[in-house]
Structure 1
Amino acid sequence: MPASLHIRSGALVAHRLLDVANEIDLARAEALWLAHQGQAGRRTRLATATANELTFGVPPTLLRLPSARIELDGIAADAELSVRVYDFGAIVIALRIPAAELSWSEFTRQFNALDRATPEGSPVWRDALRTVLDVIGPALHRPAAQHLEEDYLFAVVHAFTEPMTGVRIREQADIAALLSGETRRLSAQEAAAITEQAYSYFEDDLVVLTWDRAFVYEPRRDSDVIDIIEVANAQLLEMRYYDELLDAELVSMYDLVANASGGLSLLASRRAARLARRLYGLVAEVTQLTERVENSLQVTEDVYLARIYGAALELFRVPRLSAAVDRKLAIIRDTYTALYDEASSRRAELLELAIVLLIVFEIVLALAAP
């Protein structure tokens, strides 16, 4: 890598995504934030894509937090903090540290230092989460007792000390080291695999994606790339939640089905009917919420951003998780149908038995009459 490759301006960005509720009333959250913090939240719009090309299904609310002080390898840095609130129950805490006048190796070291400084449960995330939930808590519908989490890092460059193209950056910068976090030199095969998901729209921009990090070179400072990767990550978070929820429901469902089955009794029939109604409600609720998650970003015409969004979803394995959720919903749906049919059959059998008993009773009365 040539020594002349220096970053004039850019940023190091860390995202912490948390599932905090089933749903969030964004209008109420905005009103609560304004009342308590004295500043209004604002709905997020994409910077470059038009509504006909790519848009949020329900635009999330952006809340500004006070800046935080964070140490990167013993050096204090001021970080901008913001929170994006999604209606499907996820929030994204974003920490942004300006990066300027750095060599590529220094930029890489600071990026890795940011990763080490912001692990799960670190004070900066914990304090930001508490600040937000203390204010918008009443806007949460069915708050989560435990918060499922995801994280992501962005290394952003707005300008090098000389004009650069995406091709030149890939030739001169060790992007694989930046995105892998490794300090030892990687093999050519591994470096190629790490930087495989690379995209450019103009010749002077570049996006390289991995599972947990991305490099973004955008000299115009108006890219929507970070926003759409954030949405893909939020979808991963929510699909993980529903996958784990349905796993737990399936385990308990088998026990409940066993208890509800067996015996030709009115009580057993009622148990089966109650369980069927519960499962039907679960299927309806999860189906509605997962559809909301899947439609959180609507891509129609912007092919470039659609490619990046699709690549991020594949990297995060969102389609696989979504398919797993669908399979588990199908199992529960089939169980509901079987229970409903069983309850109906039992009621019919009980009715037939009651009719037979009435006939027998009438015959006995007739025979016993003088």
Structure 2
Amino acid sequence: MKGEVVFYRLFDVGASVDLDEIQKTIDMPFLSGRFPTERAAPRYARFAQPLLVFVDERRLATNLGPLTASIAVKLYGVGALAVVVRVPFQAAGLRDLRPFASLKIKDASREENLDGYCGRLAERIIEDLVPFLHDAYETKVDPEPYTVYCISVSETPVREFTTTWRREVTALLANDPRPEAISDEEVEDTWRNWFSYYQDDLVVLEWDAALIVEPSATYEDTLTVFELA
């Protein structure tokens, strides 16, 4: 199977942010942080439009070996900063994806988890935003993590995920190394929240992780919902 793992780290800036003021003041092209919708939606279904303030692709040394990561930082007017790290994968099965949940970034002197790596990136950007922060308040909270496993190529029919692979999916989303030991009750609890639009796609949700199976790889709308939820 092939696809990508999308890691979110959501930070509270500690103030509201005037996005219009940023665009008028800083002489640089800004992009919308939201992809155009891929399917029809009612007019009242409007999502916040963040600014894409940083985007980069870099080669990272990690505990899983060298990885190419796409990194984006989105700024919301309510004072939220989303750091999004996307890493492609090619794996034999779902069990091979579980190590991504413990991804660590290495450099010459240290090894740090994604909270620390994304936190340093967020701090640098927030420092540049100080002139545009309003109604500041004290905040000291850890970033909110969310991990999405996106499968776009799979030899396994999607309906087997909902039957034969239910326990494997549960283990992946719980970062549990022993799928065979997970109780039937836990499996049922995980599979309370799953959705399918076409016969060959699937979304399974947990509180801090999700699985998307989408052969067309058009799942940006779904990722936007996860980011805003």
TM-score range, shorter chain: 0.7 to 0.9
Counterpart in the other structure of 1:86: 76
The one of the two structures with greater contact order (alpha-carbon pairs below 8 A, sep at least 6) is 2
Counterpart in the other structure of 1:212: 208
Counterpart in the other structure of 2:65: 75
Q: Which amino acid aligns with 1:118?
A: N
The DSSP-based 3-state class of the residue aligned with 2:125 is helix
Distance in 1 of aligned mates of 2:204 and 2:62: 24
Structure with a larger share of its residues in helix: 1
Which of 192, 195, 207 is matched with 1:196 structurally? Answer: 192
Structure of larger gyration radius: 1
Deviations 1:117-153 (A, max 9, x none): 6353x1x212320232233332221344434331111
Which of 176, 179, 183 is matched with 2:173 structurally? Answer: 179
Counterpart in the other structure of 2:109: none
Following TM superposition, by how much is the alpha carbon of 1:23 offset from its aligned partner in structure 2, in angstroms? 1.6
Counterpart in the other structure of 1:169: 161
Distance in 1 of aligned mates of 2:20 and 2:209: 32
Counterpart in the other structure of 1:11: 4
Distance in 2 of aligned mates of 1:200 and 1:113: 28
Distance in 2 of aligned mates of 1:227 and 1:80: 16
The DSSP-based 3-state class of the residue aligned with 2:197 is coil
For the pair 1:99 / 2:89, whether they are aligned, the reply is: yes
Counterpart in the other structure of 1:225: 222
Following TM superposition, by how much is the alpha carbon of 1:170 offset from its aligned partner in structure 2, in angstroms? 2.3
Following TM superposition, by how much is the alpha carbon of 1:158 offset from its aligned partner in structure 2, in angstroms? 0.9
Q: 1:219 to 1:52 in 2, by over 3 A?
A: same
Q: Which amino acid aligns with 2:96?
A: E
Alignment map for 1:263-302 (pairs within 5 Å): none
Following TM superposition, by how much is the alpha carbon of 1:222 offset from its aligned partner in structure 2, in angstroms? 1.8
Counterpart in the other structure of 2:113: 118
Following TM superposition, by how much is the alpha carbon of 1:53 offset from its aligned partner in structure 2, in angstroms? 4.8
Distance in 2 of aligned mates of 1:66 and 1:50: 30
Counterpart in the other structure of 2:145: 151
Following TM superposition, by how much is the alpha carbon of 1:43 offset from its aligned partner in structure 2, in angstroms? 4.8
Counterpart in the other structure of 2:128: 135
Counterpart in the other structure of 1:364: none
Following TM superposition, by how much is the alpha carbon of 1:215 offset from its aligned partner in structure 2, in angstroms? 0.6
Alignment map for 1:45-84 (pairs within 5 Å): 45-50=35-40, 52-53=42-43, 55-84=45-74
Is the 8 Å Cα contact of residues 23 and 89 (structure 1) preserved in structure 2?
yes
TM-score computed with the length of structure 1 as normaliser:
0.53
The DSSP-based 3-state class of the residue aligned with 1:208 is strand
Q: Which amino acid aligns with 2:71?
A: L
Deviations 1:285-328 (A, max 9, x none): xxxxxxxxxxxxxxxxxxxxxxxxxxxxxxxxxxxxxxxxxxxx
User: 5+ residue gaps in structure 2?
Assistant: 106-111
Q: Which amino acid aligns with 2:148?
A: F
Counterpart in the other structure of 1:259: none
Deviations 1:101-121 (A, max 9, x none): 443321233x3233896353x
Is the 8 Å Cα contact of residues 24 and 89 (structure 1) preserved in structure 2?
yes
Q: Give the % identical residues.
A: 23
Which of 95, 98, 101 is matched with 1:108 structurally? Answer: 98
Q: Which amino acid aligns with 1:157?
A: I
Following TM superposition, by how much is the alpha carbon of 1:163 offset from its aligned partner in structure 2, in angstroms? 6.2
Q: 1:51 to 1:68 in 2, by over 3 A?
A: same
Give the aligned length. Answer: 217
The DSSP-based 3-state class of the residue aligned with 2:200 is coil
Distance in 1 of aligned mates of 2:61 and 2:184: 33
Q: 1:216 to 1:54 in 2, by over 3 A?
A: farther
Is the 8 Å Cα contact of residues 103 and 114 (structure 2) preserved in structure 1?
no
Which piece of structure 1 moves more, 147-156 or 58-67?
58-67
Is the 8 Å Cα contact of residues 20 and 144 (structure 1) preserved in structure 2?
no
The DSSP-based 3-state class of the residue aligned with 1:202 is coil
Following TM superposition, by how much is the alpha carbon of 1:159 offset from its aligned partner in structure 2, in angstroms? 1.1
Q: Which amino acid aligns with 1:105?
A: R
Structure with a larger share of its residues in strand: 2
Following TM superposition, by how much is the alpha carbon of 1:94 offset from its aligned partner in structure 2, in angstroms? 0.6
User: 5+ residue gaps in structure 1?
Assistant: 1-6, 233-370
